[in-house]
Every structure is written in C-alpha cells, then in structure tokens.
Amino acid sequence: MYKENRMNEYKDFTQRWLDLIGKPVNYDFKHNLQLIRKFETAEFDGELYEQANGPGTVQRTLLMLPKTINEKLPAVVVPFYYPDRAAGYDLDTLEPTNEPNNAMALHLVRRGYVTVTAEAYHLTYRNLELERQDFSRWRLTADTLLHDHPEWTGIGKLIADTQLLVDLLCSDPRVDNERIGIVGHSLGGKMALYTGCLDPRIKAILSSDFGIDWDRTNWAEPWYWGEKINQLKAAQMDHAELLRISGLKPFILIAGLYDNEDALDYLMRAGYSDSSRYLFINHASGHRPPLEVLDQAYDFLQTCF
C-alpha cells in the first residue's frame, strides 16, 4: 500500500508539472525524418537529417556514429543551440569549431556512444533574417510561439523538440534503447534536466551549470517559463521535486558559475543518498566546464548503463 501511495503521489506531482508546462492545440504534424547527407570525419561518421518538429517546421538534426559498430550501442542526446557547436565541427565546411568545452557530442562519440543533436527552436519556429548567433532570436521567436500557443511554454517546446531526438534514437537499429542518456551544458543542461526527468526512455542525466535554483539564471525568460515562474514559486515547486518524480535516475550535476555548492542541497532534498546514483562536481572556474571535469562526468555516466 505504501508503494502504491508513493507511486500515485509521484503521478500527481508529475501531472502538475505537465499542466504548467502546457500542451499546444492545433499542433498536429506528420513525424517525418529526411536524410540530407552522409559524411565522414577522422573521428566519426555523420548523418545529417531534417526532422519535422511542428506544423510546417523542421530541425536540422545530426546523428554521430562511432567509426566501428559491431553491436547495438548506448546513445546520448546532446541538446544545444545548434548541431555544429555540440559536434565540434562546422557542418558546412567540416572544419573544427575550436570550442572544445562545448563539443559534448564529439567527446561522447569518441567514447563509443551514438550521439544526436539538433537545432533549438529559436532557429526553426520562425523565419528571421538574423544570424543564428544573434541572441535576439530567442525573444522574438518565443514571443511568436506564445502568441500562437498561449497555453504552452518555451520550456515545453524545448522538451518536445528534444523528445523527437529520443524518438530518432529509439527507431535506429544501431542503438540499444535500454541505454539512452542525455547530456547538456547551460541551455542544453536545462533541456537535459527536463527531458531526462519527464521521459522514461532516458536512463541517466548529465546537466552542466544550468542554474538549478530559480533565481540563479534566466528561467523567467519567455523562451523558458516566462510569467509561469511565479506560479512555480508560489506552489513551492523546484528542481529537487522534478528530480524526485523522475525516480531518482542517475544524475550528474556540474557546477561552475550559475550553479555553486548550494546546488548539492537540491540533490539531497530530491532524495539522492546512494553515491552510485549521483555525482556532483563544482569546478568553480566559470561557466564552461574544464575538459578534465567533463571526463570525470563521462566516466561516471559510463557506469550508469
């Protein structure tokens, strides 16, 4: 009876998160995946797709594969701004991007994982004559999204698009569906946390310096929670609760700038007590995680499958 009551409690808590995240209406679309091209680098084989991610919209999606595949492989979703940065390669020129700390998908494919990464919705939902690096895209696109779907949230759109990457992995015969993780930094860390906690297909989560406390980063921006942040705070809903309703999946939190030592308290309040189920690292050296810290996190991730 206790176990059943606890499960019902988790369902109730999960539903109140889903209710606030919202769900768009008149948003039906055909789930289509079109291969654009294949390419090779010295480190991985790439498959570039256009994946439908809404009515009339697509997200460029990069699948990265180890050079040798002899069996079904574990896989990791790596959400970020756009594929080039997570892949460590410019997808047009195949030249290195020279942002080694951001190239998490590249780090992981080197370790034998299949990885997938895609454009975030600031590049896909609205056509804008702006450079993709122009941060004003986020506000302009979020304003349009929320005008079209006032019952939804920016974080809801980020989750929905990221779950499409999980769909892609689950449909790929080269992937072991029981060994899928999610890894992200900053914006990607937010996407990793939410998608990882709410999607049962994801077995482990690594989030880097995303701001686990509501007030340590920009959760109130319209491309995340917008004004609904006040409802979350009033209801005393926080990311400790979100982690708890995930079932305490293996979780790695890297702190650096927007997260600090206080972030560990969230893991403790969520219920993490077994050190084999979580890893907390505070490098305290700025926003971008040092490569040696990422290696430590990847080593722990490898034990989670």
Q: Give me the helices (H) in 149-209, please.
A: 154-170, 187-198
* CB-CB contact of 148 with 25 (8 Å): no
What pLDDT, on the 0 to 100 scale, is given for residue 9?
Answer: 59
Angstrom distances, CA of residue 128 to CA of 81, 122, 137, 150: 16, 9, 8, 21
Nearest to 159 by CA among 17, 12, 304: 17
pLDDT for position 2: 38
Q: Where are the alpha helices (DSSP H) in the chain?
A: 2-21, 83-87, 104-110, 136-148, 154-170, 187-198, 229-234, 239-245, 263-270, 291-302
**Per-residue tens of pLDDT for the chain, all 305 residues:** 434 545 555 788 999 999 999 999 999 999 999 999 999 999 999 999 999 999 999 999 999 999 999 999 999 999 999 999 999 999 999 999 999 999 999 999 999 999 999 999 999 999 999 999 999 999 999 999 999 999 999 999 999 999 999 999 999 999 999 999 999 999 999 999 999 999 999 999 999 999 999 999 999 999 999 999 999 999 999 999 999 999 999 999 999 999 999 999 999 999 999 999 999 999 999 999 999 999 999 999 999 99
CA atoms within 13 A on the CB side of 141: 23
In this structure, the number of other CB atoms found within 10 A of the CB of residue 198 comes to: 18
Q: pTM for this structure?
A: 0.96
What secondary structure does DSSP assign to 202-219, as a single string? --EEEEES--SSGGGTTT
- What pLDDT shows up at residue 3? 47
For the chain, helix, strand, coil in percent to 5 are 40, 20, 40
- Contact 187/162 with Cβ under 8 angstroms? no
Q: Specify the DSSP element, H or E, that contains 54.
A: strand 45-54
Burial profile 22-43: b = 16 or more Cβ within 10 angstroms, e = fewer:
bebeeeeeeeeeeeeeeeebeb
98: left (phi over 0), alpha (psi -120 to 50) or beta: left
Alpha-carbon distance of 269 to 278, in angstroms, equals: 13
